[in-house]
Structure 1
Amino acid sequence: MTRNRLYLMLGLGIAAGYGWVIWSSQNDALHSDLTPCLFKNATGIACPSCGSTRSVLLLSQGYFSKALLLNPLGIFMALIMVIAPFWLLYDIVLNKDTLYYNYKKAEDTIRIKWVAISLILLIILNWLWNIQKGH
């Protein structure tokens, strides 16, 4: 992936993420059964990321432990939503490649077999956690 394509996709993803969080917070998503998850809508079973938006909303209200229990991926998503816009802006304004360089480095690290297997196991455990909770 090229630098420009990564930055465009990340910028669009950030905008969509903030848009969804704003829409969700205005429509009381914490207490709603409405879900954009195609997997859950089709099967009735939560996917590994189900509850991430509600987790981010809880985190924004200061409920760290509730957010963590709802879906730990929400914590990771919130960190990306806070850090990525500033990092992206820094690189664009100063014409740097620090985000792109670290993305490539992370991509190479994830391709290491034991790292990939560990991450896949964590996602499976998170999925089982979501299914067990019934979310």
Structure 2
Amino acid sequence: MAALVPPFDEDSARAKVQRAEDLWNTKDPARVALAYTEDSVWRNRDLFFQGREEIIDFLTEKWQLEKDYRLRKRLFCFSDNKIAVEFEYEFRDEKGQWWRAYGIEHWTFNANGLMQRRDMSANNIPIKEEERMFT
């Protein structure tokens, strides 16, 4: 796979978003963390943390709690070394309740194409199993 590095054009930005979606859907925290710089800064909803080890810890806990996680991302906009995406994902909690999260992420990349900053905002809504979009 070719490296997707800034500056982004529409094709490379779309490819970067697709790679991120594919990677996150592996639900492999260590593998996902390799797409970020060693000192990557994250804001995920109301949590703030930094570095690959904290990313791995966060994702490990996330996917232990969010069963049957499935994510879709769509390119919103891009410029030079930044990409914004809209996303939605579904999961069920430990009680079996299905949820859908809607949100947006802003990404900033270094010259090597690793994400050095990720800011994410999202809202969860409860859904019925028959309302699921990602089966």
TM-score, normalised by the number of residues in structure 2: 0.31
Question: Which structure features the higher share of helix residues?
Answer: 1
**Structure number with bigger Rg:** 1
Taking structure 1 as the reference length, what is the TM-score of the superposition?
Answer: 0.31
Q: Which has the higher strand share?
A: 2
